[in-house]
Structure formats: structure tokens, C-alpha cells
Structure 1
Amino acid sequence: MKGLTSAPAILIDMLQFPVAGLLIAGLLSAPAPVTAAAAPDISLTNVKAHLSQLQSIATANGGNRAHGRPGYLASVTYVKNLLDAAGFTTTQQSFTYNGATGYNLIADWPGGNTSNTLMIGGHLDSVTAGPGINDNGSGSAGILEVALQVARTGFKPDRHLRFAWWGAEELGLRGSTAYVNSLTSAQRSAITGYLNFDMIGSPNPGYFLYDGDNSDGTGAGPGPAGSAQIEATLAAYFSSIGVPTRGTDFDGRSDYGPFISAGIPAGGIFTGAEGTKTSAQVALWGGTASRFDPCYHASCDTISNINDTALDRNSDAIAYTVWALAGAGSPGGGTTVWSDDLETATSWTRGTADTATSGLFERGNPAATSSSGVATQLDAAAGGSYALVTGATAGSSAGANDVDGGVTSLLSPSITLPSSGTLTLSLSWYLAHLNNATSADYLRVRVVSGSTTTTVLTQSAAASNRAAAWATASANLSSYAGQTVRLQVEAADAGTASLVEAAVDSLKITQS
């Protein structure tokens, strides 16, 4: 792995809401639908066990796992056997470089929309000088354990998931380049995002995210459209655990290179290589003013060359981002019984008990709004041009059209639900606020059935910055089978005056 860490960077200090599974369902009396599962906590013990296996493979094969050497193929076999047993469909793609055969391992999780594929990858090879446990056993082990958790949890995302372990990265991105070059134009178009994880456990770590939106203004410029969302989602996880991040340039030194060259949005994490941590970075993250990884490309890049805290945080960040970006709308698919993409007006009506004085929910084309570098309102709907949004226009300042004075809500038209099957509500949403918010502020989705109103999805605010970024959520509505209901979307600035924005889009109810 190679990555730029010495260029100037801007601190990303924003907290995105949790993914759909962290929403709280059924807060009121029965019926009490439930939400989709949260991203799992990734076991550091399990990730370290994979690293120990890679270390043992290197030790038994001349001290490395390099391209064309037996240690590399043994590493591929180790990963492949675990994925095959877990139910993945694996492909061992071969290529030739420097007179030696190299291998990429591709693992597809069954299901999801294959025309909207999210790829997660990292290189599995080491240099010839050492076993490559941080570079890049760490990324390889992290994504392996996330893939195994996909299988263990029975995750059924909307997007198709494809995991990859690349060969010969250390010789110039040879494996990932061979893979991208092997794809037809249609196959490339079907890959709508690529996440790269290369060196995520450096012993003197920094927390760098690839600069998808070019907010740093250095180097190669932004990634393809969609890269900014990947960066924001990763940043959201680190903000949620109180760890600041900095940007690192798309400098082409890791396996995202062929993907962004093909116009595929990308992002990822990097904890530092041969660069030296500055005094300012020591103040930010701790550690010492020395190299991020003193064993970079050396024989001492062994199992002892890992910072467990960084490895644990980054493995959890991988899972968070996969779950957030893959979506979990209607498990197993199903028949759509009602949907509203909000591109045309469909008679949503304002709540009769609303108290908010500004920033009222409306169907609108949202305008970008930010404060102190925190995006509080996005300039795009989750799909198309329109969404349900609190105060769609930007106004003269960030606080001009945010929610103020209490509750604002909109009620959908009446929806008659079928009397059988599993009924699932899915939607896209965000809640954004600054650190003057309180836990009394919230976004909720409720079901109104006769005289009963039940909360099925809710997200409370907190006294911290949360940046706007679209995520997906789902709730089981089977308890309402055979009933005629309305959905109520509700946001509140219910505590002290605070800056609160919210939006909902792409609502759908399916029967399966």
C-alpha cells in the first residue's frame, strides 16, 4: 500500500446518523414493528485470528506472501475456503505478470441488485521482503471478517455485494487493473461503488479517508460522482466514536486506481505508511512524531506490527459503511404494493397538531446548506429531484429554514395494505444538526391506523455535529396487514433553539 499523508488536509468533523438498524422501533404501544438489523460489531479477535493465519502462511513459505510465490497462493486458498463454506460464490481469476501467475479472488454474496453492485476490496499480496501483515494483511483480514459477518447475519441488502482480494498490488496494481480491464462496459457500469481498505492497522496510526469530494483541494481532485458520499459515510462512523479524520488524496497508489479511472466512485481508509506523523497529528490522534509504519515494506511487518485499537475501529467502520451503503430495504425482494418517489405531488397533507414556526416539512427540491463545514441539507434528493424536506430552500444562512419552534409533519395519502404476507416499509432519510441540538430533537416515521399512531422509525439528535447524508431504513408493517393506514413523517426542534434539518425520500411498501 502507498498513500499520501504529508499533503495539507482539512479535518473532517461531522457525525452522520447511524445506519438504518440503529433506529429505534415500536416506542409506543402495540403493534410494534421492528427495523432492519444494525451493522454488526466486528470481532477484533476474529480479525487477529485471520492475521495469525496469514503470518503462519508467510512463515511456512519463505517469509512472504508475494506475487508468484507459494505464500500468496496459500493466502488465496485460506480466504477462499472460508468464503466458500459461508455461502459465497467465489471466482479465482488468474493473470500473468513478470512471468508469474497471479490471482484475484472475487466473492459474490447471493442476492441484491446486480446492476447496482457495491464492491469491497484490498490487496492480499505482500512484498518479497516480509509477510505483509499490516500491508495489507490488515485490510484483507478486516474485509474477510466483514464478509463472514454478512453471511452469519443473513444480510439481504438492496445492492449486490462483491468482495475482492487483489494480487500483485505491490508490483503496480496489477491484479485490480487486470480485473477492471476484463470487464465489459456493461459490467463496469453495474459496479456503482468501490471501497478500498489497504493498511488499516498501522502501529502509529492516523485516520485518513480518501478525499472523495476534494475538500482538501490538493493533488488529483475529487473521485467520480458518488465518492463524496462514501467519504461522508466513513467520516460519520468515526465521528460517532469521537475519532477525527483527515483526508488523503486519490494519488493512485492503491487498488482504487483502476476503478476511479473507469469512472467508478470509490473511497476507503488508510492509517499511514512510510510518512512521518506530524506534531499536529500527534495532538490529534496520539502516538509519536515518527513514521506511521516503521516496518513498511520490511521484514518486521509481522503480527507484532499492528495497532489493535486502529484495527478494531477500522474493521467496524468497514461494516458500518457496507451496511449503510448497501441498503436493507425489502429483504428477499417482493411485490411493491405502494411507493412514492415524490417526483410528482401525491397529496401529502400537513399535520394538524404541528407547532413549528419555520423549516416546515414540504415536498421540494432541496438546496445545499452548510454551517462551519457541516452539511445540514443536501442539494439532491436520494433519487430524482424531489424529497420531503424541512425547508427546501437554502435561505440567507444555515439557520434560516431549519426546523424551529416545535414539531413539523406531513401525512401520506391513505394506503390499503394487503391482508397477507410480510409487509416491509423502506425509505431513504437523514437527520442533520449542529452541536446545539438536544436529545429532544428528532426525526420520526409513524403509522396512523384509525385513531392509533405508532412510531416505527425514530432517530434522536444529540449535542454534536451530524452531517446530512442519505441512508436507508426499513420497518416491518405486517401487523397492519389488511388495514388502511397513512404514513406520518415528523421532525422536531423540541428542546432549546437548535439547528435541525431532516429529509425523507423513496418510500416503498413491499409484500413478500
Structure 2
Amino acid sequence: MKLLHTTLGALALVVPLALTAPAAASPAASTATATATAMAVAPPNIPLANVKAHLTQLQTIATANGGNRAHGRPGYLASANYVKGRLDAAGYTTTLQSFTYNGATGYNVIADWPGGDPNDILMTGAHLDSVTAGPGINDNGSGSASILEVALEVSRQALQPSKHLRFAWWGAEELGLRGSQFYVNNLPATERAKIKGYLNFDMVGSPNAGYFLYDGDNSDGVGAGPGPAGSAELEQTLQSYFASIGVPTRGTDFDGRSDYGPFIAVGIAAGGTFTGAEGIKSSAQAQLWGGTAGQAFDPCYHRACDTTANISDTALDRNADAVAHAVWTLGTAVPPVTVWSDTFETSTGWVTNPDGTDTATAGLWERGDPEATTSSGAKQLGTTVSGTNDLVTGRTAGSSAGANDVDGGLSSIRSPAITLPASGVLKVSMSWYLAHGSNSSSADFFRVRVVGSSSATVFTQAGAATDRDGAWGTASADISAFAGQSVRIVIEAADASGASLVEAGVDDVKITQQ
């Protein structure tokens, strides 16, 4: 794990509920009743001895090459060749991707397991390089060895995943995420779009270990904010493993210190585990996890003593199994069935002011090609998530940002009737934004309700007395309580603060069944 000396730009997504990947365009108002019956394959237990055998090999390589496995040094290329050789023998299609940094050649090892949906890639990565000061067995031989053994187990079991599985070992992470940045920068946009999730494992055997998960929904962190859409699902999958073995976890921010950085910067969902670096374990953390309060999670961080003796077997074993749990659970999951969707490219029968109780005098919901407005930043977005049209509060820009925004109270719009299947986990998801000026308050809101034999509010974003620019986010909610019913989706926006500037938009609404 590199030293923190750069900060990634703030992410634009604001997602208060469970996250999903941006919805792809699909036929409007389609219906389906098929039920996904296949189950995910049970994750294996990864033998600790196998993972430690890889660490011994990395230590031997470092010892034979000046005591390190750093970028541009012979110990790094030997490490890359060791990993590639094991993967080649296991049936992977591997690539040694070269790049240049600081006048030296670096390498990423990229390994693809045959099969799975090529348009739905689950990628798992760890950096393989060390600092020049030491062999880097915890940082990050531990992550590299763990994902290598998981990749080899995929081969032993001849796994047939639903997603396409890709593993990566990054070079020059310690010099600023150079290898992973090179990889992401050189992927065509169409190839980037195929990567639906990236799992990162950097330092997973710290001797004074904590159990941290990258905080996909920002439920624990207050710093860098949530990850891109889909990150919460990755976090929850890893959390479910640790919960199953009775180990509490805590969130750690996406602060730019490891190879998830280039992925989240281009909107790819990310997650992973981390057992701590040079940070000091608090008394509360020692009570939670054991170990020594007042001491670094890894006292040998970036030092010559980061050897095979600098590993917690317990932490390494648990984290290797967590990697396998995530790869198997996510990689073999049956994709959800789309029950109904609307991209708003054609009219499907949404009705404005369906109950005849709206009070807004301007900025009424409508379907169309939106025009952008600005007022201390973007307010109404002129872009959509897919296609040309979306649902928007007052499509035209008008003479000023305040001309066609929501004014005078509530504006609502209701979907056509949707028949839900009687079984399975049902979720509604959508892309959305709420924008407002600093004259807003919590009385203003964007809200989504589902109305069937009963009614439930499934999403709310309140206004606040601060300037909020428009930015597309993605949210989802479980609506299984409405299974078997005919329902309608009601979307509302309100200016209830007295002439405050309020804009809202919705695109790509979808209901799925798992």
C-alpha cells in the first residue's frame, strides 16, 4: 500500500440507498415472469498453507534479488513471472502488460478465466510490488498470494461462473498506483464498461490486524464519500462472510491509497478488505479485534522486517477465505431477471398529477430531452443516463435557472400499471438527481413511492440550506412486499420552502427479480 500523497477528486454520485450499476437501455415497458432458480456455487475454504507457500516463494525471490521486489528491480519481474507461471499452468489466459515509469519497465499480470459473460466482468486485484526497503510480504505479498490461491482454486474446481472472472497483479503501486492507472487508462471505453466490479486486496495479513472493508455506501466513513454505484453490494458481500464467522468489521474510506483508485475514478464499483498499515490501533479496536492498542497495525510497514515473520496467520486465513467468498458469491450469482423497465425513449403512459392534488405551478414533471441550467453550478442536467429523454421537472431551460424549476409545492408523475411476479426478491432501481440552491430546506424533497394494495415510500432525498448541484446517482430498494400485486411507481418533487430553486430528474427505471 502506497503512502498517501495524492487525493482523488470527489465522486459525483450521491446514493443513499443500496447501489446498483447504471441501468442499460432496455425495451420500454417490457414484462417478464421468469424466475431465476439457479443458485450460486458454495465458496471453498482456501488452505492457509497454500497461501503461505506463495509468500515463501516471494520471500525467496526478494532474498535472491537484493532484499526487495520493487518496480524496475529484478525481484519484481521474478515475482511477476512466478505468478504468471502458476496461472499459465492452471489454464488461464495471461498477459504480462508492460509500462514505463521513472525510466524503468514495470509489469502488470492480467489473467482471464475462460467462460462467463464477457460483458459482465468481475475483476480481482492486488499489487505485487514492494518498496525498495524490504521484501513486502504483508505489503502486499499477502493480497497477491491470497488472490493467486483463489484463482488457482477456480481452476481446480473447473468453476463455470456466470460473470467473466479476471485477476490482476499490479506493478509500481508503491510509486503511485502506476500499474493499475496504466491499465485503466489504456482500456477502451467499451472495455471499461464491461467491468462491473473491482475487488482490491492490499495488506490482508497485518500482525496487529484490524478488519476493514472499503466503505462502499459511506455508512461508516465521513471522508471520501461512497464508491460508484455497485460498491455497496461488494462491501455487503464481504461483510456477509465476516459476519458468518463472527468477526466484526469497520468501514475504511476510499482515500486513494490503493489500486481501486483508478477504477472508481472512471465509475467502476469497487470493494475489498484491509487489515491496517502504519495507523495505530485504538483501545476500542483492540477490544473489538484483539491485538495491541497503541501499536501500529503493521509495525514493519515499508520496512526491511516486512518478511514472512510479519504475518498474522489468523488474519491471512480469514481474508483469503473472504476473497473466495466474494469471487464465488458474485461470480456465480444468477443475473436478476428484468420484470419491467423504462428508459423514457418512448411514451409508455406516465401520468402527471395522477391524484389531482399537486400544487406546483411550474417545473411539472414531463418526459423529454432536457435542457441544462446553471446557478452556482449545474442545476437541471442537460444530459441523460441513456438515450435522449428522461423524466425532468420542467424540460426547457427558460430565461434563467429559476424560470422552469419546481415552484409552489408538489409535482408528481405516475407510471403505468406493472404486474409483479409472486415470488423472488424484487427490487426497483433508477438513476436520479435532486438539485437545489442554498435557499432550499429540508421541506423540499425528491421522493419515490410504490402504490399497490398499500403504499410505501421507498426512497427520499430531502433538501437542505446548502447549494446542491445536479449529479446523476443510482439507488435501489427492495419491493418484495408487493410481490404478486399490480403496482405503480409515483415520483415526486417538491418546492415547499417558499420559492427555493429545485430541480430533479429520473432515468432508466427498472424492476428486477432475483
Same fold (TM over 0.5): yes
Deviation at 1:114, TM superposition (A): 1.4
| 1:341 is aligned to 2:345 | no
- In structure 1, C-alpha distance between the alignment counterparts of 2:455 and 2:153, rounded to whole Å: 39
Give the corresponding residue for 2:155. 151
- In structure 2, C-alpha distance between the alignment counterparts of 1:362 and 1:268, rounded to whole Å: 28
Cα gap change, 1:298/1:3 in structure 2, threshold over 3 Å: closer, same or farther? closer
| 1:278 is aligned to 2:275 | no
- In structure 2, C-alpha distance between the alignment counterparts of 1:265 and 1:340, rounded to whole Å: 21
Give the corresponding residue for 2:513. 505
Give the corresponding residue for 2:456. 393
Kept after mapping to 2: 8 A contact 1:67/1:168: yes
Instruction: Output one character per residue of 1:19-57: Cα deviation in whole Å (capped at 9) or x when no partner.
Output: xxxxxxxxxxxxxx9955311111101000000000000
Kept after mapping to 1: 8 A contact 2:137/2:307: yes
SS at match of 2:165: strand
Provide the aligned C-alpha RMSD in A: 3.1
- In structure 2, C-alpha distance between the alignment counterparts of 1:263 and 1:347, rounded to whole Å: 31
Give the corresponding residue for 1:357. none
Give the corresponding residue for 1:301. 306
| 1:234 is aligned to 2:238 | yes
Deviation at 1:363, TM superposition (A): 9.1
Cα gap change, 1:348/1:73 in structure 2, threshold over 3 Å: closer, same or farther? closer
Deviation at 1:158, TM superposition (A): 1.1
Kept after mapping to 1: 8 A contact 2:40/2:332: no
Cα gap change, 1:129/1:38 in structure 2, threshold over 3 Å: closer, same or farther? same
Q: Which runs of 5+ in 2 are unaligned?
A: 5-36, 342-417, 431-448, 459-478, 486-510
Amino acid of the residue matched to residue 88 of structure 2? D
Kept after mapping to 1: 8 A contact 2:126/2:200: yes
| 1:129 is aligned to 2:127 | no
| 1:220 is aligned to 2:224 | yes
Cα gap change, 1:280/1:3 in structure 2, threshold over 3 Å: closer, same or farther? farther
- In structure 2, C-alpha distance between the alignment counterparts of 1:244 and 1:236, rounded to whole Å: 10
Equivalent pairs, count: 342
Deviation at 1:202, TM superposition (A): 0.1
Cα gap change, 1:204/1:391 in structure 2, threshold over 3 Å: closer, same or farther? farther
Give the share of equivalent positions with the same residue, in percent: 66
- In structure 2, C-alpha distance between the alignment counterparts of 1:409 and 1:402, rounded to whole Å: 5
SS at match of 1:393: strand
- In structure 2, C-alpha distance between the alignment counterparts of 1:95 and 1:48, rounded to whole Å: 29
- In structure 1, C-alpha distance between the alignment counterparts of 2:42 and 2:180, rounded to whole Å: 31
Deviation at 1:325, TM superposition (A): 1.3
- In structure 2, C-alpha distance between the alignment counterparts of 1:239 and 1:203, rounded to whole Å: 21
Cα gap change, 1:237/1:260 in structure 2, threshold over 3 Å: closer, same or farther? same
Kept after mapping to 2: 8 A contact 1:364/1:392: no
Give the corresponding residue for 2:470. none
Give the corresponding residue for 1:314. 319
| 1:169 is aligned to 2:173 | yes
Q: Which has the larger radius of gyration?
A: 2
Kept after mapping to 2: 8 A contact 1:120/1:195: yes
Deviation at 1:505, TM superposition (A): 1.6
- In structure 2, C-alpha distance between the alignment counterparts of 1:249 and 1:61, rounded to whole Å: 35
Deviation at 1:323, TM superposition (A): 1.1
Q: Which runs of 4+ in 1 moved over 4 A?
A: 33-36, 344-349, 361-368, 389-392, 408-411
Kept after mapping to 1: 8 A contact 2:419/2:484: no
SS at match of 2:181: helix
Give the corresponding residue for 1:117. 121
Cα gap change, 1:239/1:70 in structure 2, threshold over 3 Å: closer, same or farther? same
Cα gap change, 1:228/1:3 in structure 2, threshold over 3 Å: closer, same or farther? farther
> Given the two structures, how large is their TM-score scaled by the length of structure 1?
0.62
> Given the two structures, how large is their TM-score scaled by the length of structure 2?
0.62
Amino acid of the residue matched to residue 110 of structure 1? P
Kept after mapping to 1: 8 A contact 2:173/2:258: yes
Deviation at 1:187, TM superposition (A): 1.0
Instruction: Output one character per residue of 1:430-462: Cα deviation in whole Å (capped at 9) or x when no partner.
Output: xxxxxxxxxxxxxxxxxxxxxxxxxxxxxxxxx
- In structure 2, C-alpha distance between the alignment counterparts of 1:52 and 1:313, rounded to whole Å: 19
Task: For 1:251-266, list aligned pairs within 5 A.
Answer: 251-266=255-270
SS at match of 1:77: helix
Amino acid of the residue matched to residue 66 of structure 1? A
Task: For 1:79-478, list aligned pairs within 5 A.
Answer: 79-289=83-293, 290-329=295-334, 341-343=338-340, 393=456
- In structure 2, C-alpha distance between the alignment counterparts of 1:199 and 1:260, rounded to whole Å: 19
Amino acid of the residue matched to residue 340 of structure 2? E
